Structure 1
Amino acid sequence: MSGLLGHGDSGPPAGSPVTVVLVHGWSCSRRQWKHQLPALSRRYRTLDLDLPGHGESPADLLTGPPTVGALADSVVALMKARVPSGPVVVVGHSLGAAVAVEVARREPGRVVHVISLDGLVHLGVYEKQDEAAAAGLLAPLVEDFGRCGDFGAAAVRMLDGFVVARDRLPRDELAATCSALDARFGLDLYRSILSWDMREALTHTAVPVTAVCAAATLSPWVRRRYGTRIGLVPVPDVGHFLHLEAPEVVTPLVRELIDTLAR
């Protein structure tokens, strides 16, 4: 890997009790933290970044396949370059939550908390998939892309299925970001998400993990399997993009979690 991720750096340059790192989801970008960034950066040094292949970060920042671990390495490199010392809270949406856990595995002395926004619980519904199962889950996206020839449009249609408050989601912005994602890169990365071993990763991650999640995805099965490892905070009447669908609820929740650590 060469070069740093595209990113924003805001908040007080000195005196921040923790640094907050914001990691977006698959086919998204750092622009989607627009509701959370002002509230967080008033008190905390805040890095909002574009993962490789997304937004302002080219895919060739990676020297190998796009895996959850490789994306985490790119985030760690940015942290070491921009904020080489002090405690870090990593907030991740969807794929970004998996990346956040892997960052915590790599930096156990620095990352003090992982906050997932409909990431780990959502991914936990699938858990690690073998190649055939992953292909089955990807099939609707692959078939839609084959029909229309527009990967961005196919990706948005797939993501629409995870949204509750569609009128509050900036679909044009999401469509533009999805359309900028290379189809092969996007599909390879999605396969990597489906093959990521969440249970194994959490076993080897010592820091606290809190999942702020869409209540509809929080099944009794997920509670039984992960409730003792992950702090679960369900939010009603929202979908997968809860930080965009209900920022007036989600932003204070995230801020309160970080404030509790910083006291």
Structure 2
Amino acid sequence: MTVFNLGSINADFVYHVPHLPGPGETLSAAKLTRGLGGKGANMSVATARAGARVVHIGGVGKDGRWAVERLLEYGVDTRHIAETEAATGHAVIYLDPEAENTIVIFPGANREVTAEMVEAALSEAGPGDTLIFQNETSMQREAAEAARAKGMRVAYAAAPFEAASVRAVMDLLDLLVLNAVEAEQLQRETGSNLADLPVSDIVVTRGAEGCLWISQEDRAGRSFEALKVEAVDTTGAGDTFTGYLVACLDRGMPMAQAVSQAMRAAALMVTRHGTADVIPDLKEIEDHVFGR
């Protein structure tokens, strides 16, 4: 089976700061790094490293050829990444010593995805394949409709959170992934509890509090205990979780087992500085001994 990822591709500029800046505050950064990022790219790399075949659908500018080459090196099918006139998207990330971050995103070429690009990529898809997408590109509803028509599993990570974007695709989803803040925002915006939403499976990541899975069969939800690690950078952890979750489901794992594997990947990810370039592979996860 194959995972098709309609996802963003960014250059991540990470500024290491003594604390997250407040309004009007000027800070001196101790360090600056550039790496491959974007929620879409992170999820594609995580999906590939989790052992699934992943086709990325997206766009970069002429300044982003290095990002496409990097994705290819990590095992991602890049044939459906188009080069556009717009500049490659990028993210400015402020990272403090406690591993908390603040992120500002410039979408650039990520918003230049066209219906033709989506149609060309999904022409290869069929029943049993999966579409995953986020809120950092265009053509979300169109891609979800096309995937549903082909009998694919439709998965959605509702980040960065936009209430209108969630409402636009809610009726097409099989799997919805949120963090705790996004889950609260969605419940407030819709006036509904998560258990009442028309989605087969909803997974909420809750950081140090673990994870919650709500299914149509168990609307009370099932909780998963967090793994104990020494976090140094939480950037990309949620994307790593989602990529592993989708890959594990694509490989036929039951949801509970897929969630557990995705939690292990995310837990190991937060012990590293960086985003797509440091996402762990299956062997690293299997070899690592986690605490509780």
Please classify the TM superposition score into its range, dividing by the shorter chain length: 0.3 to 0.5
Point out the structure with max Rg over C-alpha.
Answer: 2
TM-score w.r.t. length of structure 2: 0.42
TM-score of the superposition, structure 1-length normalised?
0.46
Q: Which has the higher helix share?
A: 1
